[in-house]
Amino acid sequence: MSLTDEQRAEIEAQRGTSSPTRRASVPALEAMLYRAIPVLDHGFVRVIDYMGDDGAVVQSARVSYGRGTRRTSEDAGLIRYLMRHRHTTPFEMCEIKYHVKLPIFVARQWIRHRTASVNEYSARYSILDREFYIPAPAHLAAQSVVNRQGRGDVLQGDEAAQVLDLLRDDAARCHHHYVEMLNEGADGAAVDPARQGLARELARMNLTLNTYTQWYWKIDLHNLLHFLSLRLDTHAQHEIRVYAEAMLATVEAWVPATCAAFRDYRLGAVTFSAGMLAVLRRMLTGEQVAQPSSGLSKREWAEMMGALGREG
Amino acid sequence: MSLTDEQRAEIEAQRGTSSPTRRASVPALEAMLYRAIPVLDHGFVRVIDYMGDDGAVVQSARVSYGRGTRRTSEDAGLIRYLMRHRHTTPFEMCEIKYHVKLPIFVARQWIRHRTASVNEYSARYSILDREFYIPAPAHLAAQSVVNRQGRGDVLQGDEAAQVLDLLRDDAARCHHHYVEMLNEGADGAAVDPARQGLARELARMNLTLNTYTQWYWKIDLHNLLHFLSLRLDTHAQHEIRVYAEAMLATVEAWVPATCAAFRDYRLGAVTFSAGMLAVLRRMLTGEQVAQPSSGLSKREWAEMMGALGREG
Amino acid sequence: MSLTDEQRAEIEAQRGTSSPTRRASVPALEAMLYRAIPVLDHGFVRVIDYMGDDGAVVQSARVSYGRGTRRTSEDAGLIRYLMRHRHTTPFEMCEIKYHVKLPIFVARQWIRHRTASVNEYSARYSILDREFYIPAPAHLAAQSVVNRQGRGDVLQGDEAAQVLDLLRDDAARCHHHYVEMLNEGADGAAVDPARQGLARELARMNLTLNTYTQWYWKIDLHNLLHFLSLRLDTHAQHEIRVYAEAMLATVEAWVPATCAAFRDYRLGAVTFSAGMLAVLRRMLTGEQVAQPSSGLSKREWAEMMGALGREG
Amino acid sequence: MSLTDEQRAEIEAQRGTSSPTRRASVPALEAMLYRAIPVLDHGFVRVIDYMGDDGAVVQSARVSYGRGTRRTSEDAGLIRYLMRHRHTTPFEMCEIKYHVKLPIFVARQWIRHRTASVNEYSARYSILDREFYIPAPAHLAAQSVVNRQGRGDVLQGDEAAQVLDLLRDDAARCHHHYVEMLNEGADGAAVDPARQGLARELARMNLTLNTYTQWYWKIDLHNLLHFLSLRLDTHAQHEIRVYAEAMLATVEAWVPATCAAFRDYRLGAVTFSAGMLAVLRRMLTGEQVAQPSSGLSKREWAEMMGALGREG
């Protein structure tokens, strides 16, 4: 992660101030507040602000005048009930805001979730830093031969070295030319007085998709959990999953009861189709069912056996 | 407003607790927190939670690492600029949550705004109190004779008295029968053991539309301002406008710079169409323009003259 | 269902017109177009317009230049894949618009789904007809004694008769007084010239929640399926479930492949939590598992056994 | 614009089929259907599907049983009224779907509008073509010296030539290396059997932001007009404004009455703040007002004079 000294100082200054509030407050999340959690080679996630806690979920489910909470076990039970039966609106009552630094190709996936508020650093107004994502050798995966969208083995030897060289050189050269076309010095004056400098909003098109950008991203707890359930999935691309993992840790600190229910009823849960259920019932009577007689396609059969921890 | 002693105690208990936070905090809004602002005869609005302040708008517009704010005048200038040019996303970075008690017919208008999170007290699970909205005599308006959706003069004398009697009697009778059909005592046991009691989800259909309901309503600042601009309008129904006015006071306390810009660029602003602009330019050259030669319809002409504070 | 002769004529007139289009068109849905499907005693659902078909789902999943469809079996396989893996955006590419007549208390549940466009008949501008929902005797359910939000047995004998009388009388009286307070004749003139007439926007508050309203409701296929999955659930209130059933029939005609996948992967599917999956794996090895040693709560255990078609 | 012969054939095949429909149909838009409107050097916009017409706006505003339309002049008057008073929901009742080919940096601006449905061509699954946006010489603008986000003069001579060379070379080299790292032949087999080939989802990060992507984009008329009002603005970047202009032509063909009202009340309209209105009133009395005594900032004053077509 590459924060400048000035940025670190700004963050610590903000951490240093404290004020009293009548609002619900979560010490475990306060402890994390503003600090950057490193992700990938130059990225980070940091919590900037939040509203509500596990109690706020309970409180709004009960439309209460006061805190609305009772014994911790009762509250956790209500939260589990709401999660299981997809009563989602009480989870919308908590809100969190992140500052995220991430490669542009990850940002493009991320932004497909439309139920959040975003303010991105603008390359129309400002100049992007010379920072690109270069995969660690362990994540330099080959195209999967069985799955059009998946990753296969990790590249080795010459091929790996060559790929890393290409990625580094192209990103660096493109950024170098970006700066050259802009022709802007630190003081805003032209570097080469004989040139006008290309408009920022045009010059940015020369950057590669692994260039880092950053944004403020604000979302309610329900929609955050939905985002996380999709992006923590094994089918999600590694480069976005690591952001989701960093955010899951903040959710754990923030709303522990909700997070536990989320792990049980979403992350660790499996949905069986009507067809799969019919197979399951036969299996539970002791019948040996095989794919050809199951009524399921090969792919569905494999998914079902996987969920049950069985060999197909 | 009709809070029970128990409810008041719950509210004061919540006001009594305080904890330190590193988050942005607004003393003027903290002072209001949880307290019910009376609206209509039995309704209220109260702020339950909030996130962000004027500084958060500035901070996200600048995508900064620290607070992002500079001199107060510069920040206010940026906020005015954002408001004027409809750069709306920074205003989405603040969030507020209200507890509102309101008549059902008002709730039905209110809920048309879809960009908020709502948890309403459920009449499928719970029993609604015997509270209905009865207009104060000064708001017992006749149907406008010039405007299909407007109000005319205030009803007087016998007609007023008769209307108030009908409203009161019908609401009371319907609620009385609602309770009778439910057949539930305070302890949940049947009042009349010979009867089973109608399901709550069915019995509620016997209530009148002026019965009070309540909900938790959470929204971001941008969408709240949009809601307020529509509901503070002179064309809005009085019974929802008074809620909007109560909420505007909370916005004033919460984000004063944003609220000032909102008053100038939204509440007090007028949009002139291309046709109106053409008329305006002629008028500014000193030409005397009248409706027939203006190219505007009579209604548009009247609206334009109204905006300019002129007789048609 | 109570359509006037004039309304029937309008509907048939619209059905009588036909024009050629290059757009995807679905004969089975065209056959239903504009015709009202009766629901409850006076309500209906009718399809007013639609866009897209099963092919449009496939086409957008493939981002193709032409129709994008291949063999029917391949297309159905892709649709099943999208549904199973919750790739929801291709289903957003189809759109449907309904005209619905429904009791106000049902409309209040319905409107909680925010991802649709709505234009409701306005009681600020217009006068509501004298039509209320009165449950058929078979649906006059008692409050459940085991479930706070559920229905129990059907009311019988005197209690049933009494409830029906109360519902009918109160709704009729309230509407009668509504009309009286309005004081408007068919021609808009005052019925009683000595009275001004209460504003429509106020008079409506005297109506009961079983009064019928109507609206245009437009939604994309993905969000419609989500609405249906919630409202076809056995926990949904009967009075909204019957609307969902009528709409499911229109979806069946419109997008048969999508509808089949929806039945298999949503309506007939069950989600097992991480805890339930652990129990399932033990059961599949032949172990006899009982609730106390399952790690599941009694309620979760009962839900799981229900899903497996087993006695607890 | 670069459509392959195969793509052209697919488009013409789809244009060749016609079926009868009872739905509202718009001949002027049918004439355009599926055909690509060229935008920039390789991009396009084409209408893929639509639902509704001007009559549908009127019909839903009236919640009618039949077509709901009356005389054309009355309908246009109602549409103008709805547009002027921001009664936006009737405009949500029309829907349109586009297929758009556009540079990635334009797509990143576009996607900030969240009220649309999108299916983008996936570079995780598929390989992007070797097509990049290179500005025409007339649009190769310098950075504005007065406005941080604006464009200044067009670059000339050597500087222009140099910039075009850099943009072309870098995009071409990056795409060349992208293909090399993928190591996939037309038949899917490895080009160089000694290499595995980098995963597509990783290789794409080497592409520059002017690479073309494409998507299906579906939106309702209200939100489309909002998008257009922002992107047709003089402050919008040229490269997205040309897409908005192409789409405005399709709106003109589709809903002419709505489009005329949009031009008058949105595109050609100006909003005056409370402060500007006060100045306007003084000016209309014949007073000579200058900026220093206006109460407006210099920037606001200049904007106001611009709107009135006056020298400051």
Contacting residues of A for C79, CB less than 8 Å apart: none
More confident residue, D85 or C205: C205
| Statement: residue D188 has pLDDT above 80 | no
Give the model confidence (pLDDT) of C233-268 as tens digits: 988 999 999 999 999 999 999 999 999 999 999 999
Average pLDDT, chain D: 94
Contacting residues of A for B49, CB less than 8 Å apart: 23-24, 51-52, 56
The pTM score is: 0.96
For C5-133+210-267, CATH number out of 3.30.1360.170, 3.50.50.60, 3.40.50.170, 3.60.110.10 equals 3.30.1360.170
Q: How far apart are CA D307 and CA D234, in angstroms?
A: 13
**Domain B5-133+211-267 fold:** Gyrase A; domain 2 (3.30.1360)
Give the model confidence (pLDDT) of D81-109 as tens digits: 999 999 999 999 999 999 999 999 999 99
Subunits that touch chain A (at least 3 Cβ pairs < 8 angstroms)? B, C, D
* pLDDT digits (tens), chain B, 312 positions: 679 999 999 999 999 999 999 999 999 999 999 999 999 999 999 999 999 999 999 999 988 888 878 888 889 999 999 999 999 999 999 999 999 999 999 999 999 999 999 999 998 888 999 999 999 999 999 998 777 667 889 999 999 999 999 999 999 999 999 999 999 987 778 999 999 999 999 999 999 999 999 999 999 999 999 999 999 998 899 999 999 999 999 999 999 999 999 999 999 999 999 999 999 999 999 899 999 999 999 989 998 999 898 865
Give the model confidence (pLDDT) of D138-156 as tens digits: 999 999 877 766 788 999 9
Whether residue C22 lies within 8 A of chain D, CB to CB, comes out as yes
Count of CA atoms in the C-beta half-sphere (13 A) of D17 = 13
Quick one: tokens of D14?
Answer: 């789809």
Closest-CA residue of chain B to C119: B112
Q: Which residue of D14, D33, D218 is in closest CB contact with C93? A: D218
Q: How far apart are CA A163 and CA D203, in angstroms?
A: 9
Whether residue B253 lies within 8 A of chain A, CB to CB, comes out as no
Q: Which residue of D111, D124, D170 is in closest CB contact with A111? A: D111
Q: What is the DSSP string of chain C?
A: ----HHHHHHHHHHHH--EEESS---HHHHHHTTPPEEETTTEEEEEEEEE--HHHHHHHHHT-SS-----HHHHHHHHHHHHHTT--GGGGG-EEEEEEEEEHHHHHHHTT--SSEEEEPPTTTS---S-B----GGG-EEEPSS-TT-EEEEP-HHHHHHHHHHHHHHHHHHHHHHHHHHTB-TTSSBSSTT---B-HHHHGGGSBTTBEEEEEEEEEHHHHHHHHHHHSSTTS-HHHHHHHHHHHHHHHHH-HHHHHHHIIIIIT-EEEPHHHHHHHHHHHTT----GGGTTS-HHHHHHHHHHTT---
Closest-CA residue of chain D to B309: D281
Confidence grade of residue D52 (pLDDT, cut at 50, 70, 90) = very high
Measure B84 CA to nearest chain A CA, in Å: 18
Provide CB contacts within 8 A for B281, sequence distance 6+.
Answer: D308, D309
| Exposure class string for A272-287: b at 16+ Cβ within 10 A, else e | bbebbbbbbeebeeee
Give the model confidence (pLDDT) of C162-181 as tens digits: 999 999 999 999 999 999 99
The predicted pLDDT at position B1 comes to: 60
CB–CB contact B143 C196 (8 Å): yes
- CATH number for the domain whose boundaries are A1-133+211-269: 3.30.1360.170
The predicted pLDDT at position C67 comes to: 82
The predicted pLDDT at position D1 comes to: 60
Tell me the CA distances in angstroms from C42 to B247, C207, D311, one per residue in order: 39, 17, 64
Confidence grade of residue D310 (pLDDT, cut at 50, 70, 90) = confident
CB–CB contact A196 D152 (8 Å): yes
Measure A16 CA to nearest chain D CA, in Å: 33
Measure A71 CA to nearest chain D CA, in Å: 40
Domain boundaries, chain C: 5-133+210-267, 274-307
Q: Which residue of C150, C159, C206 is in closest CB contact with B195? A: C159
The whole-number average pLDDT for the span A176-193 is: 91
Whether residue D197 lies within 8 A of chain A, CB to CB, comes out as yes
Q: How far apart are CA B272 and CA D273, in angstroms?
A: 11
Q: How far apart are CA D20 and CA C19, in angstroms?
A: 5
Active site annotation includes A204: no
Give the model confidence (pLDDT) of A201-213 as tens digits: 999 999 999 999 9
CB–CB contact C206 B209 (8 Å): yes
The whole-number average pLDDT for the span C107-118 is: 96
CB–CB contact C284 A84 (8 Å): no
Q: How far apart are CA B105 and CA B238, in angstroms?
A: 12
Whether residue C55 lies within 8 A of chain D, CB to CB, comes out as no
Confidence grade of residue A149 (pLDDT, cut at 50, 70, 90) = low
Q: What is the DSSP string of C65-104?
A: SS-----HHHHHHHHHHHHHTT--GGGGG-EEEEEEEEEH
Q: Which residue of A148, A153, A177 is in closest CB contact with D166? A: A177
Q: For chain A, what percent of residues have pLDDT higher than 90?
A: 83
Measure C240 CA to nearest chain A CA, in Å: 17
| Angle between the N-to-C axes of helices B221-231 and B238-254, in degrees from 0 to 180, rounded to the nearest 10 | 140
| Statement: residue C277 has pLDDT above 80 | yes
Whether residue B264 lies within 8 A of chain D, CB to CB, comes out as yes
CB B65 within 8 A of CB A216: no
Subunits that touch chain C (at least 3 Cβ pairs < 8 angstroms)? A, B, D
The predicted pLDDT at position D239 comes to: 98
Largest CA distance in chain D: 85
Average pLDDT, chain C: 94
Give the model confidence (pLDDT) of D105-121 as tens digits: 999 999 999 999 999 99
The predicted pLDDT at position D98 comes to: 98
CB–CB contact A269 C270 (8 Å): no
Cα Rg, chain A, nearest whole Å: 24
CB–CB contact A84 C273 (8 Å): yes
Whether residue D70 lies within 8 A of chain B, CB to CB, comes out as no
**Active-site pick, A46, A200, A204, A231:** A231
ipTM: 0.95
Q: In 3-state terms, what secondary structure has residue A302?
A: helix
More confident residue, D56 or B64: D56
Q: Is C256 exposed, middle or buried (0-12, 13-18, 19+ CB in 10 A)?
A: middle
Q: How far apart are CA B271 and CA B260, in angstroms?
A: 19
Measure B223 CA to nearest chain A CA, in Å: 11
Give the model confidence (pLDDT) of A237-271 as tens digits: 999 999 999 999 999 999 999 999 999 999 999 99
Contacting residues of C for A271, CB less than 8 Å apart: 265, 269-272
Closest-CA residue of chain A to B49: A23
Cα Rg, chain D, nearest whole Å: 24
Q: Of A63-77, A286-300, B69-83, which range is least confident?
A: A63-77
| Exposure class string for D238-263: b at 16+ Cβ within 10 A, else e | ebbbbbbebbbebbbbbbbbbbbbbb
Secondary structure of chain D as H, E, C letters: CCCCHHHHHHHHHHHHCCEEECCCCCHHHHCCCCCCEEECCCEEEEEEEEECCHHHHHHHHCCCCCCCCCCHHHHHHHHHHHHHCCCCHHHHHCEEEEEEEEEHHHHHHHCCCCCCEEEECCCCCCCCCCCECCCCHHHCEEECCCCCCCEEEECCHHHHHHHHHHHHHHHHHHHHHHHHHHCECCCCCECCCCCCCECHHHHHHHCECCEEEEEEEEEEHHHHHHHHHHHCCCCCCHHHHHHHHHHHHHHHHHCHHHHHHHHHHHHCCEEECHHHHHHHHHHHCCCCCCHHHCCCCHHHHHHHHHHCCCCC
Q: Of C224-228, D176-180, D188-192, which range is least confident?
A: D188-192
Measure D81 CA to nearest chain B CA, in Å: 9
| Exposure class string for D108-135: b at 16+ Cβ within 10 A, else e | bbbbebeebbbbbbbbbeeebbebbbbb
The predicted pLDDT at position B47 comes to: 98
Confidence grade of residue D37 (pLDDT, cut at 50, 70, 90) = very high
Q: Which residue of D81, D89, D271 is in closest CB contact with B271? A: D271
| Statement: residue A22 has pLDDT above 70 | yes
Give the N- to C-terminal CA distance of chain B in Å, as an integer. Answer: 43
Measure B287 CA to nearest chain C CA, in Å: 39
Closest-CA residue of chain A to C115: A115
Whether residue A274 lies within 8 A of chain C, CB to CB, comes out as yes
Confidence grade of residue C149 (pLDDT, cut at 50, 70, 90) = low
Confidence grade of residue C73 (pLDDT, cut at 50, 70, 90) = confident
The predicted pLDDT at position A312 comes to: 55
| Statement: residue D312 has pLDDT above 60 | no
Instruction: Give Cα D94 distance to the centre of its chain.
Output: 18
Q: Which residue of B85, B273, B307 is in closest CB contact with D264? A: B273
CB–CB contact A104 D209 (8 Å): yes
The whole-number average pLDDT for the span A168-189 is: 93
Q: In 3-state terms, what secondary structure has residue B57?
A: helix
Q: For chain C, what percent of residues have pLDDT higher than 90?
A: 83
